[in-house]
Amino acid sequence: MPRILATFRAVIGTAVIASLGLTGAAYAQKRGGTLVQLTSPEPPTLASYMNTSFAVPQVTGKIYDGLLEYDFSLKPQPSLAESFTVAPDGKSITFKLRHGVKFHDGSPFTSADVQFTFMDVLKKVHPRGIGALRELEAVETPDDYTAVFKLSNPAPYIVMALAGADAPIIPKHVFGTGDIRNHPNANKPIGTGPFKLVEWRKGEFIRLDRNPDYWRPGMPYLDRVVVRFIPDASTRTALLEKGEAHLAGYGTVPFAQAKRLAGNPNIEVTTKGYEMFSIIESITFNTKRKPFDNVKVRQAISYAIDRQFIVDNVYFGYAKAATGQISSNFAPAGFYTNQVKNYAVPDNLAIANKLLDEAGLPKKDNGIRFETTLDTTAAYGEYYQRSAEVVQQNLARIGIKVNIRSEDVATWLNRVFTQYDFDMTEVGLANLADPVLGAYRALHSVYIKQGAVFTNNSQWSTPRTDELMDAAARELDPAKRGALYKELQQLTAEAAPAAWYVETQFPTAYSKKFKNMITSPQGLQGSFYSTWLDQ
C-alpha cells in the first residue's frame, strides 16, 4: 500500500521531524444537538486498554485520546503529541506533547501519563500490546512534555498504533494504584477526549456529554452522544429510518438492509471509515484437540467452505473471499499475495473427502464421519450466525456434523480465549494499519496467551513462521518485507490453523443531518470532535 510505504519512508532511517499541523480546522459548523448511535453488541467493558472487542472503542474512542490520529491515507496526524522524531538508527522515537491538556477530572496531562500508559498498562495487558510493543524497552520523560520511546530494535509500525481507540492515554493518578486488570475505574473512564462519561445504564444506553474543557478550541460541536443497545436488527433499522437514531455501523446495520437504506434520501450509506481495520473473518481450529490437530482435517474443512456463497448470500456483496490472515488491502504495499494454496477449486469436495479418509475418519453407516461444535456469538451481528449456518451445511456435505453453539460475548470470549474450550469458532480480526499490528496476533506464538482476547486461540505456531514475522517486523526495506510475508502466507495457508473465508467491507449508515461523521480511517471508533448537526 503506497500510503503506508510513504508513511514509513517518512519516519524511518534518518532523523525526520513529522511537523504535524492541527486538523479539524473550523468552518461552518453549528453548536448543539444529540447524536444517537446504535452499537451492537453492548460493550462488555469500557477498559479499552485491555479489550479490543470492536464495540468497546466505539464508545471509548470519544473519551480517550491517543498520542496520534490518522488521515485516510493512513498518515499520522497530531493529537496529544504535536510531533514526533525518529532517531537515525530507528531505535528511539521522541514525542513532543501538547501543553495545557486536562483529564476530565481537571488534572493536567503530562509525560508521566504516557510512560505509565505504555509501560505499566498497554505493554502488559493490551491484547495487541503484547506484540506491538515488545520492542519498547522504556519510556523516558526528560520533562513534562517530552516522552522518548526507547526500542530494542527498529519498530516502524509503532507509530501506526497510537490512536485513542487502540492506545488510549489514561491518567496515572487514577489508574496507577490497584490492579489494572480489575480496576474500579475500568468502567468509569477518565480521559482527555471530547466527551465525558455521564451514565451507563446496562442493557439500554451510554450517555456521553460534551467536555467543556476539551483542548481543541470550540470543540466538540455536539452537546451529547448517546450510544443505544438494541438487540433486534429490524428495530435498529427502523429507528434509523424514523430518524430516532442517527448512526450505525460494524454490522449493526444488517447487510441485507444496508442497500435499502442507501435508497433513503435522508440516510447516507458508506463503506468508508474501516481503512485501518480490514477485518478478516475465519473459522479458527483448536489445534490442540483431535481431530483438529491433524492438518488434513483442517485442510478438508477449508476446501469444503463455499466462500463466494457467503459473500453473496450472507454479506450481500459487502465482502470478498479471503485467502489468509493478511488482507488484500496490503497488496499495493507488496505485503499481500494470493499465490497460496487455493481451496476454491472445482473438485473441492472430492479433495476434502479424500483428506478425511486419509486422516482416518471414514464415513459411518449414517454418513457421518464425526460430530463437532462450532462456537459463535450472534451479538456482533446476525451475519455471524448465518455464516455459521452456511459452514454447518457445507461440512455436512463431507460427513461432518456441526452443532452451532451461540453465546453472549462475555461467555464466548472466556470460552475461546481464556479456557480454550472449543473445537471450532468464528473469529473476526482487524488487520489494522500494518500486519505486525493486526495479523501477527493470530499467528505468532507470543500471542498464545490465555485470557488475551482476539489473539492466537488456535494455539498454532512454528519456529519458521515466528522467524518470518520477527524478521518482517524489523525489516525496513518494503520489498524484502513483502518477500517475508509471501512465505508466511504460503506456509499458513498450507497449515490451515484457520479457514479464512471473507474480508468484510462493512456499511455504515448515518443521518445526512450530521456532518463530518466519518472523518478518519477509524470511522465509528473516532472521537467525533468535529461532528456537527445541521439543524
Does 7 reside within a domain? no
What mean pLDDT value characterizes the chain? Answer: 91
Per-residue model confidence (pLDDT) at position 19: 38
User: How high is the pLDDT of residue 228?
Assistant: 97
State the pLDDT at residue 342. Answer: 96
Dump pLDDT digits (tens) for 84-121. Answer: 999 988 899 999 999 999 999 999 999 999 999 999 99
Same-domain pairing of 344 and 388: yes
Confidence of residue 464 (pLDDT cuts 50, 70, 90): very high
Q: Are residues 473 and 371 in the same domain?
A: yes
- Residue 322 to residues 112, 200, 493, 498, Cα–Cα distance (Å): 43, 37, 11, 11
pTM surpassing 0.85? no
CATH no. for residue 95?
3.90.76.10
Query: So what's the pLDDT on residue 25?
Result: 43
Grid cell in block for residue 256: 441485507
Same domain, 290 and 241: no
Q: Residue 146: enclosing H or E segment and its boundaries?
A: strand 146-151
261 and 350 together in one domain: no
Based on the fold, state whether residues 205 and 142 are members of the same structural domain: no
11-40 pLDDT per residue, tens:
333 333 333 434 444 457 899 999 999 998
Q: Does residue 179 share a domain with residue 132?
A: yes
Instruction: Tell whether 242 and 352 lie within a shared domain.
Output: no
CA-nearest of 307, 295, 297 to 501 is: 307
Provide the domain limits for residue 358. Answer: 279-504
User: 448 and 429 in one domain?
Assistant: yes
For 346-388, write each residue's pLDDT tens digit: 999 999 999 999 999 999 999 999 999 999 987 777 889 999 9
In whole angstroms, what separates CA 243 from the centre of its chain?
29
Which set of grid coordinates corresponds to residue 259?
A: 442497500
Q: 390 and 464 share a domain?
A: yes
Q: Is residue 259 one of the residues assigned to a domain?
A: yes
- DSSP type of residue 521: T
153: in domain: yes
Residue 52: its pLDDT value, please?
80
The predicted-structure confidence for 174-223, as pLDDT tens digits, reads as follows 999 999 999 999 999 999 999 999 999 999 999 999 999 999 999 999 99
Determine the Cα–Cα distance for residues 523 and 316; give it in Å rounded to an integer: 21
Residues 69 and 114 placed together within one structural domain of the fold: yes
Rounded Cα–Cα distance for residues 82 and 527 (Å): 17
Which residue's entry shows cell 503506508?
4
Residue type, 152: S
Cα(434)–Cα(220) distance, integer angstroms: 30
Last residue of a domain, one of 183, 213, 228: 183
Q: Looking at the predicted structure, is the pLDDT value of residue 61 above 90?
A: yes
449-459 pLDDT, tens digit per residue, is: 898 888 999 99
Reduced to 3 states, what is the DSSP secondary structure of residue 166? coil
Last residue of a domain, one of 183, 203, 220: 183
Confidence of residue 127 (pLDDT cuts 50, 70, 90): confident
Residue 13 lies in a domain: no
45 part of a folded domain: yes
Cβ pair 529, 216 in contact under 8 A: yes
Residues above pLDDT 90, as percent of the chain:
78
Q: For residue 23, tell me if it sits in a domain.
A: no
User: Quick one: pLDDT at residue 18?
Assistant: 39
The CA distance from 456 to 239, in Å, is 38
Q: Each residue of 281-294: pLDDT tens digit?
A: 999 999 999 999 99
The region, left, alpha or beta by phi > 0 then psi within -120 to 50, assigned to residue 44 is alpha
Q: Is residue 21 part of a domain?
A: no
Domain boundary among 183, 218, 233: 183
Tally of domains in the chain: 3
What is the DSSP annotation of 444-508?
A: -GGG--TT-TTS-TT----HHHHHHHHHHHH---HHHHHHHHHHHHHHHHHH-SEEEEEEE---E
**Three-state SS for 421?**
coil
Same domain, 231 and 343: no
**Burial of 479 by CB count in 10 Å (0-12 exposed, 13-18 middle, 19+ buried)?**
exposed
Q: What pLDDT sits at residue 277?
A: 82
What's the confidence (pLDDT) of residue 41? 86
Q: What CATH number is attached to the domain comprising 216?
A: 3.40.190.10
Residue 75 is predicted with a pLDDT of: 85
- CATH number at 453 reads 3.10.105.10
297 and 201, same structural domain?
no
In a domain, 17, yes or no: no
